[in-house]
Each structure stands twice: as structure tokens, then as C-alpha cells.
Structure 1
Amino acid sequence: MSVKDQVSEQEWQTRIDLAACYRMIAHYGWDDLVFTHISARVPGPEHHFLINPYGMFFEEVTASSLVKVNLAGEKVMASDYDINPAGFTIHSAVHEARDDAKCVMHLHTTAGVAVSVLKEGLQAYSQQSLFPLASLSYHDYEGIALNPDEKARLVADLGNTNFMILRNHGLLTAADSIADAFLFMFIMQRACEIQLQAQAANQPMIAIDDRILAGIRAQAAEVTRSAGGGLAWPGILRKLNRMCPDFSE
């Protein structure tokens, strides 16, 4: 029996969207072989989540290949693949603490890691930076994320924000939909790229006025919700259906 025949329509749609998210990360070159993760909660009363099969490239992920696990990281549906324990430490912490975090995305992009190393972190140098800066947190590096004790500290640092920079490590977004988590990451990644390119010019920098940034932060919830993940997502699915339609299998 196929995976599609074993799950609800709602779960199958979540699988399609999450597989699409993996494929788009690969398309933009933001993957890191098999070492980063995107997870999504399965609709329903159980706290079950979908995450990538450990060892499969993002460009290979399909709706059927995603692994379904519980909050303990135990598979709740048969799969030939295991999951990355370090990745699940991060994702399970956020999913367990935040009911609104239906999708959690964690990447090791070059630009994201580079900005995470900068003492001042992400700066208000671009319009793109205002969206993450409206709802941004930081988490200090504690080594490979295998220590369950780190979960409480990561969750405390994240608070109710939607964007996080993990120092010396990478970027994380959390949202109530896969579409929003992807768009949040797209915007934060682009802000990091713009900042690094501007800094590389070694010229005087013009930051956005603090009053504008303060106003954005005061309206953080409205700003992030209006980012419009749902507006871009149908186009992303159309693009993938042209490039690699097997993602939805």
C-alpha cells in the first residue's frame, strides 16, 4: 500500500508542501548535503511530525519519503530511513514548546553562518532585514545539538519570535505554515546576503533609522503575518511542477 493510501488528505497535503520546501532549498543551493532539516507537524491531535530521511539529499525528497515521528523521535510509521538525532533535538524542542510552530526550518547557509559569527549579528541595512529584525532572537553555540538539556535554553532564547540566528551555526525560522516558514527563511537569507555584500565593499554604511526599526518591532506580529507566504507558495508549487514534478509522489 502506498504512503498516500495510508494517511489522511490533510497529511498528504502537508507531505507535498514539505517535500516542495526541501526541493526549493536545494534549488537555491541552501542545502548542506544531508545535514540540515525542515520539519512540519502532521494535522491532527497527535504531536507527530514529518522530517527528512537522514541520508537523502534535499533534491531527492518526496512526499512519500518523509519520516513521521513523535516528540521522542520515534518513528510512528514504517520507513527504511532513520532521522538525524541532532536535527531532531532542535526541531522537537521548538515543536513541543510552540503550538504555533507548525513548521520549523533550520539551515546552514554560507551567508547565514557568516552573519551568525558577526558580533553585532544581523543589522538594519536593508528593507529585507526589517522583517527578521521585527521578530529575531539569538542562541549561543553549545556544540553539536545532541544534548537534551540544550532544548530548554534554545526554547527560552527563541521565546515567541519567528526568526532565530544560532551563533556559529546557522539560521532558523518557525511559523504556523510551511509557506510562511519558507518565506521567512528566504527573506532572512536575502538580508544576510545583502549585508555581507555591502560590508565587503568596505565603504561607509547607511543603516535604517532607529525610529523606523522601533516602529517595525512594535508591530512585529502584524509585520511578519503580512509577509505573505501564502501569496508566493502557489507559484513555488507551479515552478516545481515544471522542474521536478516527482516531489509530490
Structure 2
Amino acid sequence: MSIYSDSIKNEEQAMNQAEKDIRTQLAACYRIFDYMGWSELIYNHITVKVPGEEGHFLINPYGLHYKEVTASNLVKVDINGSIVEDTNYAVNPAGMLIHSAIHGAREDAHCIGHIHSTAGMTVACQQEGLRIDNFYSVLLYNKIAYHDFQGITVMDGEKEDLLKSLGDKQFLILRSHGLLTTGGTIADMFMNMTLLQRACEIQVSVDQTGKAVAPVDESIGQMTEKLLELQMANTPVANGQLEFAALQRLVDREDDSYRDL
């Protein structure tokens, strides 16, 4: 075998391993979302781009609960919504529209998560949206985009509006609908969703007290980025990496069947 052939074989093996790794991480993420209470029957979706395959990403099989998602049954699709590998499953049309639009337009959006949590949908239904008046929401100062409700997201015409609403942000509140976050990695997306979900939970909880809300000065929000840099100065890891790893260890102790490659 020639050196050239050996090189191609090595690249193919590396690429296959990269896909196996990302499949395992994404399957773990589905289990983590369920552990966090963010699953919704068989609905909602988390997607990630396939390393080295332009325009391909992985999505959950339509019809399976998050606890049933595994590395091997994740479905590989392309930006046009076509399934590009043998599978016994279909994919959720609404999920395909949302995720294909964002993956196709945003190079930095390697992973996208979308949930219908009670707290998230409650804030999404409120006219004022997310207030910047609690610890978590202040961390999201000037980082949240909003998209107006247009019904079930299955019409191609909504793609352009969705992308215009999201712009260059990683946090999107879909009005009357739910929450969406993107990330450069699965862990990054997970941590972004954690912050947005917690911010919504606290707002809903505070509102239920019926008491006046203590205001947070806008200057605190403006300082947040600098404060985060100080907080993370001695933690030389990417956003969400430690948190995701910790949650993965927890779900592994309960059920590691998602690692079925």
C-alpha cells in the first residue's frame, strides 16, 4: 500500500472516530437534558454539525423519548432536510426547519438546542420577555434575541425571519413558544441553555411571590462581561466543559446505554 493510500486511510479513520465521538456527546446531551427536566414527550431537538462533513448534522429520531436516544440511532441529515444515511426513523419537520436554517447560516453555531420548558415558555409568553433583574439574567445582558410567534415552525418562509431575529446572538426566546441556544460546542450550547433556563425560572418564581422586584442597575449588566472574565481567569477551559462533564458523569451512573457504538 502506498504512502498516499495510507494517508487517506488514516484520515478516514480519524474522521470516523470524530463522528463517533460527537455522536456519543450528543446522545449524552439528550440524556442530560432529560435529567434536567427539559424533555417534552418525543418533541424538541438538539443538533450538532458532523465534523468534516459540510452541511451535515445529527438530530434525534422522531418518535423516541430523550432517554431512548443513543449514539447509533441519531439521524444524519443535510441542510436541505434530507436524511443521508440508512435509518429506520424519520425526523421532526419543525426541528429540521429551525436547525437547518441556523446551521446553514451561522458558521459558529455548531450545536443548537431547543426546549419547551414551563419556565421558558412562561417568560416567552410575557410581553416584556426576560427582565434583567436576577443573577442569571444579568449574565445575559444584551445577549438575548426574540422571534415573534408564527405558529408551528414548518413553513419555509419563516426561515428568513428566524435568522433575522437571531442575528449574531446565541440566545433566542421564541415568543409564545420556548427557548433556543447555540454554541461552538455541545457543552457551550448546554451551558448557554442552563443560564437562560435558570434566568427564566427565577423570574417566574419571583413573579409568583407577588412582591415588588428589586431593580438591578443597567450599569451592572454593562459590567458583566468584565466580571465574567475575572471569574473565569483561573479556569482555563471552554464554556460549559466542566459543567457538561459533571452532568455526563451523573447520567452515566444512572444509565450509560447511550454509548452504544
Give TM-score scaled by structure 2 length.
0.88
Amino acid at match of 2:178: G
Tell me, which stretches of 5 or more residues in structure 2 are unaligned? 1-12
Pair 1:234-2:249 in alignment: no
Query: Are the counterparts in 1 of residues 172 and 179 from structure 2 also a CA contact under 8 Å?
Result: yes
Alignment of 1:18-37 (within 5 A): 18-37=26-45
Indicate conservation of the 8 Å contact 1:106/1:172, yes or no: yes
Give the corresponding residue for 2:77: 69
**8 Å CA contact 1:137, 1:157 repeated in 2:** yes
Deviation at 1:227, TM superposition (A): 7.9
Q: Contact between 1:139 and 1:158, CA under 8 Å: does it hold in 2? A: yes
Q: How many angstroms apart in 2 are the aligned matches of 1:67 and 1:222?
A: 40
Secondary structure at 1:172's aligned position in 2?
Answer: strand
Q: Contact between 1:103 and 1:175, CA under 8 Å: does it hold in 2?
A: yes
Identify the residue that residue 65 of structure 2 maps to in structure 1: 57
TM-score (norm 1): 0.92
Q: Does 1:193 align with 2:201?
A: yes
1:216 and 1:223 in contact (8 A); partners too:
no
Deviates more, 1:224-233 or 1:99-108: 224-233
| Partners of 1:135 and 1:220 within 8 A in 2 | no
Q: 1:188 to 1:66 in 2, by over 3 A?
A: same
Distance in 2 (alpha carbons) for counterparts of 1:222 and 1:176? 22
Which among 187, 198, 221 is matched to residue 179 of structure 1?
187
- Paired residue secondary structure (2:58): strand
Q: Equivalent residue of 1:171, what SS?
A: strand
Query: In the TM superposition, what is the alpha-carbon distance from 1:27 to its structure 2 partner?
Result: 1.2
Distance 1:144 1:216 in 2: 35
Between the two proteins, what is the percent identity of the paired residues?
Answer: 41
Q: In the alignment, is residue 152 of structure 1 matched against residue 140 of structure 2?
A: no
Instruction: Report how far residue 156 of structure 1 moved.
Output: 0.8
Deviation, 1:218, is 8.8
After superposition, the CA RMSD in angstroms is 2.4
Aligned partner of 1:93 in structure 2 is 101
Cα displacement (A) at 1:217: 6.8
Rate the CA distance shift 1:220–1:77 in 2: closer, same or farther, 3 A: farther
- 1:243 is matched with which residue: 241, 254, 257? 254
Asked if 1:143 corresponds to 2:154, the answer is no
Q: Runs of 5+ in structure 1 lacking a partner?
A: none
Give CA-to-partner distance per residue, 1:13-47, whole Å, 9 cap, x none: 11111111110111122111111000000001421
**One-letter code of the match for 1:117?**
C
How many angstroms apart in 2 are the aligned matches of 1:221 and 1:71? 35
Which segment is superposed worse, 206-215 or 53-62?
A: 206-215
Distance 1:207 1:22 in 2: 36
Aligned to 1:105: 113
| Contact kept in structure 1, 2:70 and 2:258, CA below 8 Å | yes
Whichever residue aligns with residue 250 of structure 2, its letter is K
Matches of 2:81 and 2:53, distance apart in 1? 17
**2 CA distance for matches of 1:158 and 1:21?**
23
Structure number with greater Rg is: 2
Offset at 1:134? 3.7
Match of 1:11?
19
| 226-235 or 197-206, which deviates more | 226-235
CA change 1:161–1:218 in 2 (3 A) is farther
| Paired residues of 2:113 and 2:180 also in contact (CA < 8 A) | yes
Return closer, same or farther for 1:118/1:206 CA change in 2, 3 Å cut-off: same
